Structure 1
């Protein structure tokens, strides 16, 4: 290859991002949390694993995904199909897959660990895979699923995080410059109550149900005997399956994926803290991988790059 000239402009494809995003948005992270244990909560595990599959497919690497799963349905003795978790009765997709990296599992999924993760107050020596290493350029998708009520989300049926505690954790993130923008997504009963206390800037939020409403499951798999996905997440994932890394679909379109006629509950949206018009925000600003590439029209002479042998001799 000595003397060969390589045009860099042919090697890379430029990522399309909005002007506002270019100004401060440099990377994407996802925090995906299932807070429920026990076999009858199979759907909550399917919810979070489905979301995990979608963000990975759209380019967010495992190194930038924190996955918290309170129970291992794939290995549950009641599972008639060991090592699998399906989100559809037709079993089209095994969302457990072959390469799921669970960062917090079982009894590690606690309110304390969740809040410490967001705020960066983890004990010394915490493995990198259990840390949210975001910065002021990070767009963060936070997805929560489980059982909730007016102003709280249950963890493992033994404790709960309140809407005020969550709001204060996000404010600590802002004060410590741990995010650029947050998309907060929650699928629980009375889910909108969890974003009512938010007061930090640059947060866009969506909830599967309003205060006083239940968030409903979608359908049962007779072979398993339990509901296998929640209604709001089912339609959200149906939308995401049609999104590609170079998609022109927007966050505004995503916020409307589950109208009341199919969701039955009323989807809540909060955008007063968010400075951009959701219809001008590419969905890949939160669900994909932002990899800015600087293009050049000049040529690189490969012959000027030292070989490994030349490096050794020097």
Structure 2
């Protein structure tokens, strides 16, 4: 994760590169064992982003599909959400092919296009989980039509923030409260036996911490705790080298960890707990400034089940892949992965070309947008709580086991205000998502929503002077 101080220095270096035209390629930033049963296996795979700069999320989902397909799950029981705009993007150096590993094979072939484009939304996601076909608004119509003996696997890969998972539309979101409400409804309907959820997103622990009961037969594993970033993986400039034609991260660390583990092992002999330990160790990394804490929530006894109860078990004999890069040196915070992509677009463009000028402007606009967001959020905190207490609102976190916020209506209302005032929908970045914790802290402080909304509008109208920024 890039700290505020290091982020400032990083942005300064990029601005200097832009002004001097210098080329650089560095960016440092068990008990019970599940066996065959009479129930069915279901899977819901969702990439909640769009855009080639977010290549990794759809690549993760496509790889997950191939694992499930190899495990014998039928396509009618695998439901895939992805915007489907990277495989044939003009920026994709291998049209029609998506890879999730530098030496990996195509993972895009055969992936069902159940919900693509604008059909990737929270309404359809919740309707699919609940098996509610009448609530769908487009797509293939496939839902989790499960029964009381069935097992369900849900894998979500996207940007996240405290209490929040993103969707391709900037006007849409999945809040922790709404997601937990849907899971409770599914449990009340008695339409599954056990459920496993993997979530790849920043602050993904906040979706379940203090919210997911331990008596619903749902086991959730998250890429990060409630207070930290998750990480892009196999990124440009990595060692071993990513194919030079790629200027975007190919995967995410947590996701790569569980999927490459599944690729290498007989899942009918490996438990969820055993995979959790492997993924936890790999995702933590040896660099204290990078990596994240993989967390588990809910009915932890499910971790004693074999992976095959959820991923399928009709696998061919496993062989170790030609090469697994378990010690990648380049990790990029999910919040900064787009910035890395824009930087490499600029560096790859021919000097003095129109493409280079366009890439320069895109990168500059993103940097200035981020600085404006940082400035405005600090202004909001100080206007609401004063110069002494305001800065505390930026970093205040809840103790482990406590939900992010008590008043979720307040949280959702002010998130909409934040989006409206900060120009969230006009930026290709999800950078503003990192400040949803501030919104939660405003609500927890009991500040009047109308007053907070007014202050947000006021703060974002205060444009900072880019020439006066100190690094």
The question of a shared fold, defined as TM-score above 0.5 by the shorter chain, is answered with yes
Q: Which runs of 5+ in 2 are unaligned?
A: 1-31, 236-241, 315-471
Which residue is 2:274 aligned to? Answer: 253
Q: CA deviation at 1:75?
A: 1.2
Distance verdict in 2 for CA 1:289–1:129, change over 3 Å: farther
In the TM superposition, 1:62-73 aligns within 5 A as 62-73=75-86
Matched, 1:44 2:57: yes
TM-score by length of structure 1 reads 0.79
> Does residue 122 of structure 2 align to residue 111 of structure 1?
yes
Matched, 1:288 2:351: no
Shift of 1:249: 1.0
Q: How far apart in 2 are the matches of 1:213 and 1:28? A: 32
Cα distance in 2 for residues equivalent to 1:128 and 1:188? 26
Q: Of the candidates 38, 44, 52, which is equivalent to residue 31 of structure 1? A: 44
SS at match of 2:76: helix
- Provide, for residues 114-144 of structure 1, a one-character-per-residue CA deviation record: whole Å limited to 9, x for no partner: 1111122222898875221111111000000
Distance (Å, rounded) in 1 between the aligned partners of 2:157 and 2:82? 10
Specify which structure has the higher proportion of strand: 1
Which of 89, 93, 98 is the equivalent residue of 1:76? 89
Query: 2:156: which partner in 1?
Result: 144
- SS in structure 1 at match of 2:151: strand
Aligned length: 266
Asked which structure has the greater RCO (Cα within 8 Å, sep 6+), the reply is: 1
Using the TM superposition, name which of 143-152 and 125-134 deviates more.
125-134
In 2, Cα distance between the equivalents of 1:211 and 1:142? Answer: 19
Structure 2 residue aligned with 1:278, among 290, 297, 303?
Answer: 303
Query: Does the residue aligned with 2:270 lie in a helix, a strand or coil?
Result: coil
Compute the TM-score of the two structures, normalised by the length of structure 2. Answer: 0.53
Which structure dedicates a bigger proportion of its chain to helix? 2
Q: Do the aligned residues in 1 keep the contact of 2:56 with 2:252 (CA within 8 Å)?
A: yes
Contact 1:28 1:289 in 2 (8 A): no
Which residue of structure 2 aligns with residue 264 of structure 1?
Answer: 291
Deviations 1:218-267 (A, max 9, x none): 1224312101100111111110002346x311111111122112671110
Per the alignment, residue 387 of structure 2 pairs with none
Matches within 5 A, 1:96-135: 96-97=108-109, 99-123=110-134, 130-135=142-147
Contact 1:58 1:244 in 2 (8 A): no
- Give yes or no for the alignment of 1:203 onto 2:218: yes
Task: Compute the RMSD of aligned alpha carbons.
Answer: 2.2
